[in-house]
Structure 1
């Protein structure tokens, strides 16, 4: 695809996002770098454009437009000091709560900090005088990038209009040639609305949404959810007869409510799922779960005719897939309560039952594989889930720990709470976070790898200082075991070990002694189970499970193979 065509499609998607969020007027300060954006806005019959040569005057003209229209106004300029001349007007818009969408075009990255003309640092140019700063990617090919461009235009314009209203800055780096060409994009693929709550409640009765809940749907839950919210979500799945998936932090696995609609083994079920398993509605809560196969499955549905609903509890529009058709600013419990009140005419039970049959095969495949393999880190994660009792709490570390617990933990009727630090998914600070959790005096567990424990051994001092009852299950594969699941494992051993395997060769028994923790190394399932039983309310404990870096990957491949063989045999029999 020619560069000009690529850029034109990218900017048309962005402009469509502006329009979907209610932008109907644009103030343009002429310049070179802004040429493609200015021309496409000028040519758009749905956008009324106002051309003012002086940027300072243009900025205040946009302030007046926003005051008179009570609408979001786009403000467009070229790169360099042109953008700086908008600053006084942006300060006024911030203080007056006026929704300006400031579109500063910019030099591409390769022309920054190299002495190129009309290039200056435009990152966060307006500081705290704007509600949000975003910089778009340089235009690239691909449907994902078109959705991304649309989503940035749409969500940033919404943010400008949300109370408290105010200006936002979007920086758009563009490469030459700068003249756009005539192209078309399918704007129907970018269709997002915002559901407005009545007062402080979600009211769905009598709305077009009612009929959606009588279709074939899938519920996808991510982020941290409380036990109470997890129970509501399972009740929702029960009413709609929709399968529901979520990782350990959603607590769907252990909220005291067992549901045949909950797909505990989603990582297996959504691996190479057939085309017959295509929903008509996808209902999402929170960020995407850690389960990678679910994410890939959802991305592959992008071309399907599906209604995508996103419950935007954070009001931050964090849709990684950028596929949302309807944003609903509400808490999960508010939304569940609203749906639970509906009187539905029909539900498709056969749809959910097809997933349930796959869930049963996944359970069987795991059981068979675990019976035929030696004790490992994966076995420890599975056994730990069976050990946890009512009212206890667990923090699962990032990298392998949360993935093993996601894949292998078992559904429990015990109401224990699972936590994690999945905001930015780092391996630092996890021991100290656990110490903070343990202040509530509940029996606390930490499932963690050796690199993550090494990064935060100082957190053991907090546990020692406050005499906390914490049991640490250390999965020690002597380095970065997570990389055995990724493409880096194809590298030569000398490169892989140095950069990714990173063996520490630490004796954690000595670390336990330093912080007065009871220590035990286990090598069998019986030893691990006994160590867990002894650990309750016994102060600080460190149970070390030693393994090999590739072990988890190899076991998972066996589980996948067994599962797909069972699916094939089951299909043949039917």
Structure 2
């Protein structure tokens, strides 16, 4: 067997093993050293192949597909700094618990650390930011090589998709020549399948949880962003059974499609309510049960830290459970599942007046939030208008910083099918555009809107390159307040010296030229009364860029006025 035949068998074995283990999507950043694998992926009918020449954007693009499908997505790049540019998205994938299979092509061993071009040390390049890493052998004719590949890929995909989901890394060295013979059929596998188990709690854990619930007079549930693929029906059944107040973050997606019989328990305005000291005193809880990540709300975290519930029970699929405020008293290692509704629960001990305190205050806050767009015309009013008018069966991807906080404030429970997504693993504003465009590829049956600030848009404007390589459909809504709006709410804003230079960071940029560059429909909105243009399409262009101009200082004043109106009525 000659070198070309050996290389061909090797790369098609990689592809076949990935397909065998459930991979459907591959994102390629073209380059020379990855040529053999790129050819093999591109010539395989079993895969959806996407292209993005900017590796940093490509990695977030793959992250978006994986978030949308809750399935592993493969990333492929050449050697050198191309691999380093994957790093930000890999960090996000680790902390957001998203399954990525990262494949970096590499120089052969004899070209490492000797001054060869485009050769860096790629062994364990991503350190502890990946769940597992493996160095593949050079393609050769050895009997053990292909079985090694089969089983290592099975291990890698299993690790990426075992809770908590996360990224894994394969480093694959190639010698020249890099050409292969194209094959129509994938090689047969000697390793046929692997089965990953579900994580369920022990009987002892279930007894502890049931006992805590049955003894509780005053308690509430927190639902943050849940693990990919979580069954929301199980959460709704648990809520019906407990009949406790449920503080639902927007990213939990429990504020939409709300069953009518669960509506009395849903508390969406907790961030505004917990700014009020008297209200906090009235709703101190004996027991708190949390599913998913810690919510965005700073005031909820402060409340839990100050009140220290006797039982703070965290239910998480990772033994490294999330508890940044260090107030948890119990941890249960489990996925959301039917076990929740098999608990032996008796809620007769629960204080119904406690639920009413939350319910009545929620109604006060909801009233003021519904009136907000009639009183104000700032970014919050824009967000409220957007949420009220989003089409049914649509998704909203949201940038970190102010947009996600405004969504959390202004998204009220609704019977509409609207789902909210964001990159909240590392909470960065980089890669948001790329992730959203990738997300749109994974849920083509739904309409996708992206809400993003001007600085986050600038961070990732290269994301739009991918729209030149594959069909994309997305409406990008840029809130342009000329700088970093969130800092206006923080202590830095009280120090006027250097504020604009270091934190406001205005650029005076507008984005019509960007829209023209990528053949996007462009809509410019200067005044609140022009917002009807958000949903009035002039043509069938699948790419829309809507730029809404706002004022940072006006935003702060309007938000604080809302909180004051709620505070006054609560008092």
TM-based fold match above 0.5: yes
CA distance in 2, matches of 1:267, 1:561: 13
Distance 1:499 1:378, change over 3 A: same
Deviations 1:516-549 (A, max 9, x none): 1111112344422333242896411011111111
- The CA deviation at 1:336 is 3.1
CA distance in 1, matches of 2:248, 2:540: 30
Structure 1 unaligned runs (5+)? 1-123, 133-162, 164-196, 569-574
- The CA deviation at 1:347 is 3.3
CA distance in 2, matches of 1:534, 1:204: 57
In the alignment, which of 352, 355, 365 is matched to residue 368 of structure 2? 365
Deviations 1:91-141 (A, max 9, x none): xxxxxxxxxxxxxxxxxxxxxxxxxxxxxxxxx9xx99xx99xxxxxxxxx
> Are positions 1:395 and 2:397 aligned together?
yes
Matched residue of 2:386: which SS?
helix
Deviations 1:137-156 (A, max 9, x none): xxxxxxxxxxxxxxxxxxxx
Distance 1:463 1:266, change over 3 A: farther
1:288-303 map, 5 Å: 288-302=294-308
> Are positions 1:336 and 2:335 aligned together?
no
CA distance in 1, matches of 2:207, 2:538: 54
In the alignment, which of 489, 495, 500 is matched to residue 498 of structure 2? 495
In the alignment, which of 291, 301, 319 is matched to residue 315 of structure 1? 319
Distance 1:213 1:533, change over 3 A: farther
CA distance in 1, matches of 2:472, 2:284: 48
In structure 1, the residue matched to 2:249 is 247
- Higher deviation after alignment, 312-321 or 510-519: 312-321
Question: Which has the larger Rg?
Answer: 1
Q: Do 1:243 and 1:263's aligned partners in 2 also have CA atoms closer than 8 Å?
A: yes
In structure 2, the residue matched to 1:426 is 428
Q: Do 1:227 and 1:415's aligned partners in 2 also have CA atoms closer than 8 Å?
A: no
CA distance in 2, matches of 1:207, 1:409: 36
CA distance in 1, matches of 2:199, 2:435: 37
Matched residue of 1:309: which SS?
strand
CA distance in 1, matches of 2:348, 2:405: 39
Deviations 1:438-496 (A, max 9, x none): 1132311100000000000011121343231200111110000110010000111x500
Deviations 1:196-240 (A, max 9, x none): x99945547982432322322111122245696444334323321
1:398-547 map, 5 Å: 398-440=400-442, 441=444, 442-492=446-496, 494-534=497-537, 538-547=541-550
- The CA deviation at 1:253 is 1.1
CA distance in 1, matches of 2:255, 2:371: 21
CA distance in 1, matches of 2:354, 2:458: 46
CA distance in 2, matches of 1:204, 1:282: 19
CA distance in 2, matches of 1:400, 1:199: 35
Distance 1:199 1:362, change over 3 A: closer
Matched residue of 1:260: which SS?
helix
In structure 2, the residue matched to 1:210 is 210
| RMSD (Å) for aligned C-alpha atoms | 2.9
TM (normalized to structure 1)? 0.60
Distance 1:208 1:398, change over 3 A: closer
CA distance in 1, matches of 2:494, 2:527: 31
Q: How many residues of Structure 1 are paired with residues of Structure 2 in the alignment?
A: 373
Distance 1:389 1:335, change over 3 A: farther
CA distance in 1, matches of 2:475, 2:206: 52
Distance 1:538 1:404, change over 3 A: same
Structure 2 unaligned runs (5+)? 1-123, 133-162, 164-196
